[in-house]
Amino acid sequence: MSSRDFTLSRGKTFAFALIVVLAFFGVLELGARLSGLDAAAAPRILLRRMDVDITFPFMQADRELFWAPAPGFRGRFLERQVAINSFGVRGPEPARSSDAIRLLSFGDSITFGYGVADDETYPAAMGRALAARGVEVVNAGVTGYTSHQVLGLARRLLPRLQPRVVTICIGWNDGNRRAVDDREWARRLSLASPLGGAMEHVALFRAMTNLYVRSVVSADKRSGAATQRVPLAHYRENLTSIVAVCRASGAVPTFVDLPHVQPLPASLNRTYRDALLETSRALEVPLLSVGNLGLDSPRHDTGELFIDALHLRPEGNAQLGQLLARQLVERGLV
């Protein structure tokens, strides 16, 4: 056999092997698509695949933030209207005018307005109270968020929306116990998707990622391990970083005390609220009171203003929005 015949034979063998390999992965790719294993995890109130609580129709999975509101969503949730604008936050599109004083409100479901309509949230009430001063309030609250996620969202939104003032009301979700904390979960998700967005178009890759996520969560649950979603030390660090990001963007950060029904439910960890006050003093960040909607309330029963232990009814949101607007004016922040 000549060397030329040997070369052709080797080339044909390689080509045949390549065809077989491609066919094999093609079958796997088709199987992943037909089986549904590649389907994106349903965005839930807590960590992806860690809990089964409530599925939110206006949420989508997010590589960095775990989940985030889906831009352009229009629909109803708990019989209330929910609209997500093009920036991925609740409410109408922010004004394009440079004359407006923009205020951006970060937080969790209390700020987002769980169980109330777009115009019944406290940021909406705050916006109405401050409209005569040319202030536009944008609601950047997201259900289920911790300080870890707010920090990521602030880094994403501040350069785009360029607010003059930022309010931050976050803490209750940080103390919730889960199998792993938010930083560890973020690390695991990054390991599950090492090649970034390009591979997300491959169903087989998505299926393998989903299987990995389910396996590590199942292992955590079997182990019985539990920690705060954001340990107290991380909470202080996150608040400090949020303040630094705000100041670097030219925005004035302000903390909002943590609302809750009175009396304080035993399930709520007040150490996060105490850490918020300590961080406010240490960083010289204004802290806005929530009046009788928080821990310092002289009242012993505020249930008529709350849907549950934390979430405000429309009347409670209206009261909080007006109270915060008044303090912002009195402190010369708007």
More confident residue, 284 or 215: 284
Q: Is residue 17 classed as helix, strand or coil in its secondary structure?
A: helix
Domains and CATH numbers, the chain: 71-176+229-330 (3.40.50.1110)
The string of pLDDT tens digits covering residues 65-121 is: 988 999 999 999 999 999 999 999 999 999 877 678 999 999 999 999 999 999 999
pTM: 0.81
User: How high is the pLDDT of residue 43?
Assistant: 44
Mean pLDDT of the chain: 83
Cα 225 from chain centroid (whole Å): 24
Place of tokens 């831009």: 71
Which one of 3-12, 37-46, 153-162 scores highest in mean pLDDT? Answer: 153-162
Q: pLDDT-based confidence at 177, cuts 50/70/90?
A: confident
For range 237-259, the mean pLDDT: 98
In the chain, % of residues over pLDDT 70 = 72
Which one of 10-24, 40-54, 316-330 scores highest in mean pLDDT? Answer: 316-330
Residue of 276, 259, 270, 260 lying closest to 309 (CA atoms)? 260
More confident residue, 269 or 75: 75
Q: Quick check: 283 pLDDT over 60?
A: yes
The string of pLDDT tens digits covering residues 41-67 is: 444 444 444 343 457 889 988 888 988
For range 297-311, the mean pLDDT: 82
Strands 101-107 and 165-169 come out as parallel
Place of tokens 């909080």: 320
Q: pLDDT-based confidence at 199, cuts 50/70/90?
A: low
Asked whether 177 and 226 are in contact (CB, 8 A), the reply is: yes
User: How high is the pLDDT of residue 263?
Assistant: 75
User: How high is the pLDDT of residue 243?
Assistant: 98
Q: Quick check: 250 pLDDT over 80?
A: yes
Tokens of 302: 């505020």
Handedness of CA 263, 321, 271, 148 (dihedral sign): positive
Q: pLDDT-based confidence at 203, cuts 50/70/90?
A: low
More confident residue, 8 or 131: 131
At residue 204's C-alpha, the angle toward residues 202 and 206, to 5°, is 70
Helix ranges (DSSP H) in 106-231: 109-112, 122-130, 147-161, 182-192, 203-223
User: How high is the pLDDT of residue 187?
Assistant: 87
Q: pLDDT-based confidence at 281, cuts 50/70/90?
A: very high
In the chain, % of residues over pLDDT 90 = 57
